[in-house]
């Protein structure tokens, strides 16, 4: 009912209400679509025999928030899909698998793989809705237990080998394992003793001589699944072989020590090495005669130099005739040098030197 805001005058008395038709036009503002449920779960097995990658596993459509019907005028795309497990049809929101699921994948969280699905409207200002696809992967016994190591070493005189197996499946398709020695292909007598759910003690019932032995083992998981017979190679080593395998031999230790000593001696040799200078002079031999600090020319070659030296000696002889003691000393020095060095001087040069060394009468 509509009333006048101000009070009418008392002269106007009208107790009968008057009805006026009013038209109100509401402008619709489209709201963003939404996914219901926000997280859609789907359960599948990792058994490849039950999965067809071309088959649609589910349809995940968005809901129009105004009409509460399936959203139209929109398209669907993937958001977060870390391992690219799924693909989605852009128009129909049909979802298919891109690969076979694997429960042992590192991208699963508590056995569930999560992928984000987006719904985007075709408006001028597009609106987006986000939904989560949760793929729950049921474990299928698709892995068999295998030995962690196919080669074991045993010291001569010992008789025990520890054998461990692993299975990539989860409970109840994994441990505890059942080990059995396959006599076919195994020449020696072995006994199996359980240590825990994944490891056994394999004990030889006879003395094993140094050498290599093969033991056939069948390992079953809790559901009885096993691979083909697995071969365990057991190498029995002597004490000498064991020490060689666990450390350096005598030759290796000696080579290592020699290398270290050589590195330590290099700086010492560099310090003690006489590479010239005053220390190198001590290695030369001294003159075989007494040195009197005189420069003596006792051997000359060439015609021109011999002529110059002869002229110089003639001039010196003429100038120093009055000093017989100097020439006598010179003769003695030259004579000793010639005798000790075994110099073969021509007789004429000796006579010339001695003749000029004698004073004139």
Reported as a single tens digit per residue, the pLDDT across 215-252 is: 999 999 988 888 889 999 999 888 777 666 555 556 67
Domain boundary, last residue among 80, 108, 138: 138
Report the pLDDT value the prediction gives residue 166, as an integer from 0 to 100.
92
- On whether both 115 and 132 belong to a single domain, the answer is yes
- On whether both 133 and 161 belong to a single domain, the answer is no
Q: In degrees, to the nearest 5, what angle opens at C-alpha 283 toward C-alphas 279 and 286?
A: 115
Instruction: Look up the domain containing 342 and give its range.
Output: 303-357
Reported as a single tens digit per residue, the pLDDT across 124-146 is: 889 999 999 999 988 778 889 99
Domain boundary, last residue among 120, 138, 156: 138
Report the pLDDT value the prediction gives residue 311, as an integer from 0 to 100.
53
- The domain total for the chain is 3
Does residue 294 sit within a domain? no
- On whether both 129 and 171 belong to a single domain, the answer is no
Report the pLDDT value the prediction gives residue 357, as an integer from 0 to 100.
45
Report the pLDDT value the prediction gives residue 239, as an integer from 0 to 100.
76
Asked if 113 and 95 count as a contact pair (C-beta separation under 8 A), the reply is: no
- On whether both 195 and 151 belong to a single domain, the answer is yes
- On whether both 231 and 160 belong to a single domain, the answer is yes
Does residue 270 sit within a domain? no
Does residue 229 sit within a domain? yes
Helix 347-357 and helix 303-319: axis angle, to 10°? Answer: 20
Is the confidence at residue 19, as pLDDT, over 70?
yes
Nearest 10 degrees: Cα torsion 311, 315, 317, 320: -160
C-alpha 106/C-alpha 306 separation (Å) is: 103
Does residue 313 sit within a domain? yes
Domain boundary, last residue among 138, 155, 185: 138
- On whether both 134 and 154 belong to a single domain, the answer is no
Report the pLDDT value the prediction gives residue 175, as an integer from 0 to 100.
87
- On whether both 70 and 152 belong to a single domain, the answer is no
Does residue 4 sit within a domain? no
Does residue 89 sit within a domain? yes
Reported as a single tens digit per residue, the pLDDT across 51-73 is: 899 999 999 999 998 888 999 88
Does residue 157 sit within a domain? yes
Give the CATH number for residue 109: 2.60.40.60
- On whether both 157 and 227 belong to a single domain, the answer is yes
Asked if 204 and 124 count as a contact pair (C-beta separation under 8 A), the reply is: no
- On whether both 239 and 155 belong to a single domain, the answer is yes
- On whether both 160 and 94 belong to a single domain, the answer is no
Among 232, 199, 203, which Cα is nearest to 215's? 232
Which secondary structure element, helix H or strand E, spans residue 220, and what is its range? strand 211-220
- On whether both 178 and 207 belong to a single domain, the answer is yes
Residue 104 carries which DSSP code? T
- On whether both 125 and 165 belong to a single domain, the answer is no
Instruction: Give residue 261's pLDDT band: very low, low, confident or very high (50, 70, 90).
Output: confident
Top mean pLDDT of 26-30, 247-251, 295-299 is at: 26-30
Does residue 9 sit within a domain? no
Is the confidence at residue 329, as pLDDT, over 90?
no
Exposed, middle or buried by CB within 10 Å (0-12, 13-18, 19+), for 360? exposed
More confident residue, 356 or 155: 155
Asked if 122 and 142 count as a contact pair (C-beta separation under 8 A), the reply is: no
């Amino acid at each position: 009912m509509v009333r006048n805001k101000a009070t009418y005058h008392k002269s106007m008395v009208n107790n009968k209400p008057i009805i006026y038709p009013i038209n109100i036009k509401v402008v619709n503002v489209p709201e963003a679509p939404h996914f219901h449920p926000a997280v859609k779960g789907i359960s599948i097995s990792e058994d490849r025999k039950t999965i067809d990658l071309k088959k649609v596993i589910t349809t995940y459509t968005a809901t129009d928030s105004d009409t509460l019907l399936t959203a139209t005028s929109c398209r669907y795309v993937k958001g977060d899909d870390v391992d690219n497990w799924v693909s989605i049809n852009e128009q129909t929101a049909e979802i298919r698998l891109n690969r076979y699921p694997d429960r042992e994948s590192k991208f699963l969280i508590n056995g569930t793989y999560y992928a984000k699905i987006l719904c985007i409207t075709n408006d001028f200002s597009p609106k987006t809705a986000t939904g989560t696809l949760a793929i729950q992967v049921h474990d299928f016994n698709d892995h068999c237990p295998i030995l962690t190591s196919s080669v074991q070493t045993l010291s001569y005189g010992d008789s025990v080998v520890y054998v461990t197996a692993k299975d990539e499946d989860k409970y109840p398709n994994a441990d505890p394992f059942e080990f059995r020695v396959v006599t076919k292909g195994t020449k020696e007598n072995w006994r199996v003793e359980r240590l825990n759910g994944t490891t056994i003690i394999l004990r030889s019932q006879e003395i094993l001589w140094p050498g290599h032995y093969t033991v056939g083992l069948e390992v079953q998981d809790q559901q009885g699944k096993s691979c083909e017979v697995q071969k365990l190679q057991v190498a029995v080593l002597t004490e000498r072989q064991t020490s060689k395998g666990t450390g350096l031999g005598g030759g290796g230790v000696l080579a290592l020590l020699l290398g270290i000593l050589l590195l330590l001696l290099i700086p010492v040799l560099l310090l003690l090495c006489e590479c010239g200078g005053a220390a190198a002079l001590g290695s030369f031999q001294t003159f075989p005669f007494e040195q009197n600090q005189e420069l003596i020319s006792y051997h000359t070659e060439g015609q021109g130099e011999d002529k110059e030296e002869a002229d110089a000696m003639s001039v010196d002889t003429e100038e120093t005739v009055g000093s017989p003691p100097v020439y006598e000393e010179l003769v003695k020095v030259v004579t000793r040098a010639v005798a000790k060095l075994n110099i073969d001087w021509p007789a004429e040069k000796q006579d010339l030197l001695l003749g000029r060394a004698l004073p004139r009468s």
